[in-house]
Amino acid sequence: MRSGQPILVTDNEDNKPSITMHNSKLTHIIALIDEVECLKGEIRTSGTGHIYTTISTLENRIKRLRKELEKENEDYN
């Protein structure tokens, strides 16, 4: 994804450009990244396997959202 340039996507029947969907996904990604960092601070030497699982799940979700944004960027260009 190129920085400094807004990525416009269409999310309506008129195919008018809108950045709402894009901004929503970016906000979601940022929130997930913040949550992963918070969870990493909760890891202890034992008894926190569930936290590792949660971190892995959230990191996979982040990857999927980034791919969706990249696809939207390709479709727009």
pLDDT at 9 > cutoff 70: no
3-state secondary structure 16-67: CEECHHHHHHHHHHHHHHHHHHHHHCCCCCCCCHHHHHHHHHHHHHHHHHHH
User: What percent of the chain shows pLDDT beyond 90?
Assistant: 55
16-41 mean pLDDT = 84
Q: How far apart are CA 64 and CA 48, in angstroms?
A: 25
| Extents of the domains making up the chain | 9-76
pTM: 0.70
